Amino acid sequence: MGSMSSMPKMNLWIDAFNSDTCFLTNEELGIYFRLIFFAWSRGGYLPDDIDFIYCLAPNAEEKTVDKILKLYWQKDDKGIYQKRLREEYARALSITERNRTNGKLNLGNPNETQSEASKSISKSISKSNNNIIDRHFDKFWEGVCYKVSKGQARNNYRKLHQDWWEEPQMLSERYNKYYDNLADKKYAQHPSTWLSAEGYDNQGVDRKEKSEEEMKQWKFNQDLDMRKKGIKPLSWSVGYIRELDEAIAKEN
């Protein structure tokens, strides 16, 4: 277990925090913070002792504490944990250990500049983050039905917001639903393109009844949206890109 002195700083993802807690009252939000702060100082876990947890929020009603536990916390053999908090703690611990190792290496190499040391640390942090994301990507890739351009799909998966890359099963299910709903599979976006175009947000659209001409227009509109976002798949020809740019110019 970690201690407060060894891991004093905790990252807070503002977008995820706001979306997760916007419906809480001020009292409930205070309890939420008390619990995650205590857990952070102890390896990301609360003890599996409900009476002790009640004591962490003095004067709060037990049913209110129970509500916060039910909404945000889970239990395993080590105690009570919050998924995102536990992963953030593991990431922070990994970065701290890497920085400590880099510091020792720098002591043994006095000719290394501060800039070189910073680059080394940044590289280690990036590699650590990618390793975590890649484990989620592997689950996503295992679940998708159309396995094409895995390398590019991995790169695009790394660019997703944390709220999305932490849900590989949901993403694969949404991709498969999108793929299954296509009447003509030759119009299917590769998983890499689907991720870049944020296809996971386009839910509930049934395309089975579209004619081939409608499918062509739908595909063109999808590519048009991608082009507006600055996305340019390698499969697009120069002529097709020009056609998209002309369509965008007409809209403006």
C-alpha dist (Å) from residue 129 to 106, 141, 204: 23, 18, 32
What pLDDT does residue 120 have?
Answer: 53
Residue 122 lies in a domain: no
What pLDDT does residue 30 have?
Answer: 92
Range of the domain at 156: 151-251
Mean pLDDT of the chain: 78
Residue 140 lies in a domain: no
Residue 211 lies in a domain: yes
Tell me if 169 sits within 8 A of 141, measured CB to CB. no
Determine the 3-state secondary structure of 149 from DSSP: coil
Domain count, the chain: 2
pTM score over 0.75: no
Q: Encode pLDDT of 106-120 as tens digits.
A: 555 555 555 555 555
Residue with the bigger pLDDT between 119 and 151: it is: 151
What pLDDT does residue 205 have?
Answer: 44
Kindly state the average pLDDT of the residues 57-68.
91
With tokens 């976006």, the residue in question is 189
What pLDDT does residue 111 have?
Answer: 54
What pLDDT does residue 141 have?
Answer: 94
Kindly state the average pLDDT of the residues 65-92.
86
Residue 121 lies in a domain: no
What pLDDT does residue 108 have?
Answer: 52
What pLDDT does residue 102 have?
Answer: 62
Gap between the Cα atoms of 137 and 130, Å rounded: 10
User: Which range is least confidently modeled, 8-17, 43-52, 116-125, 130-139?
Assistant: 116-125
User: Which range is least confidently modeled, 42-51, 134-143, 161-170, 194-203?
Assistant: 194-203
Q: What is the largest CA-CA distance in the chain?
A: 69
Kindly state the average pLDDT of the residues 169-188.
86
Q: Does residue 142 register a pLDDT over 90? A: yes
Query: Within this chain, do residues 190 and 95 fall inside the same structural domain, yes or no?
Result: no
Tell me if 207 sits within 8 A of 182, measured CB to CB. yes
Residue with the bigger pLDDT between 96 and 47: it is: 47
Name the strand (E) or helix (H) holding 201.
Answer: none
Tell me if 68 sits within 8 A of 35, measured CB to CB. yes
With tokens 């099963």, the residue in question is 169
User: Which range is least confidently modeled, 27-31, 44-48, 115-119, 213-217?
Assistant: 115-119
Tell me if 144 sits within 8 A of 175, measured CB to CB. yes
Q: Shortest CA distance to 140 belongs to which of 158, 122, 128?
A: 158
What pLDDT does residue 115 have?
Answer: 55
Residue 144 lies in a domain: no
127 pLDDT band, cuts 50/70/90, is low
Kindly state the average pLDDT of the residues 69-79.
89
Q: Does residue 80 register a pLDDT over 90? A: yes
Residue 75 lies in a domain: yes
Residue 129 lies in a domain: no
What pLDDT does residue 204 have?
Answer: 46
Query: Within this chain, do residues 101 and 10 fall inside the same structural domain, yes or no?
Result: yes
Query: Within this chain, do residues 24 and 99 fall inside the same structural domain, yes or no?
Result: yes
69 pLDDT band, cuts 50/70/90, is very high
Query: Within this chain, do residues 76 and 10 fall inside the same structural domain, yes or no?
Result: yes
